[in-house]
Structure 1
Amino acid sequence: MYHVHLPKLERMGLIEPNGNWYDIRRGPRFDDIEPLLRVIDDHRKKLPGDVL
């Protein structure tokens, strides 16, 4: 399996692989986007289609 988005998120410091790409943890800059993820989660039923 080839991952496209995970390496980008890693370069941004948002995630870190924990030995492999099947076990991922929060990166050092994850806190920067956590408020956005909370807003998305809070409004997931208003999003179009099967986004989440």
Structure 2
Amino acid sequence: MLGASSVFELLAADYRRQILLTLCDSEHIEVPDAILMRGARHGQSPAMATSGTTADSTVTIELYHTHLPKLAQAGLIEWDRDAGVVSRGPEFEQIRPMICLLAENEECVPGDLV
């Protein structure tokens, strides 16, 4: 079971939050396309909304070497590296209420949390 500090540490990074928010709506996503599209839809940082640029390459590197491994290690996602697909992990339901609460209260949440 994840403690509160661990959950907040995992949610601290924009890309990890976006992955988890996207998985609330979909059982699996292709990475990084789903993250980039969600960022563009929500008017978030330029790195999330760009495609085919250096920023896009940087995002992909960060996802594959930092964010996805952390989420997988916590059991929040299952990551098929070969297929480039992420799905809900065995521990995802532990944090789902918190993620849904963020999504449902997007207009009340400060900054770019959602």
Shorter-chain TM-score: which interval? 0.7 to 0.9
Q: Which has the larger share of strand?
A: 1
**TM-score using structure 2 length:** 0.40
1:33-52 per-position Cα deviation (integer Å, ceiling 9, x unaligned): 11111111111111223333
Q: Which runs of 5+ in 2 are unaligned?
A: 1-60
The one of 10, 28, 42 equivalent to 2:90 is 28
Partner of 2:111: 49
Q: Which has the larger share of helix?
A: 2
RMSD over aligned CA atoms reads: 1.9
> Structure 1 residues 40 and 20 mapped into 2: Cα distance closer, same or farther (>3 Å)?
farther
**TM-score using structure 1 length:** 0.78
> Structure 1 residues 11 and 49 mapped into 2: Cα distance closer, same or farther (>3 Å)?
same
- Compare relative contact order (CA 8 Å, sep 6+) and give the higher one, 1 or 2: 2
Partner of 1:11: 73
**How high is the sequence identity, in percent, across the aligned residues?**
37
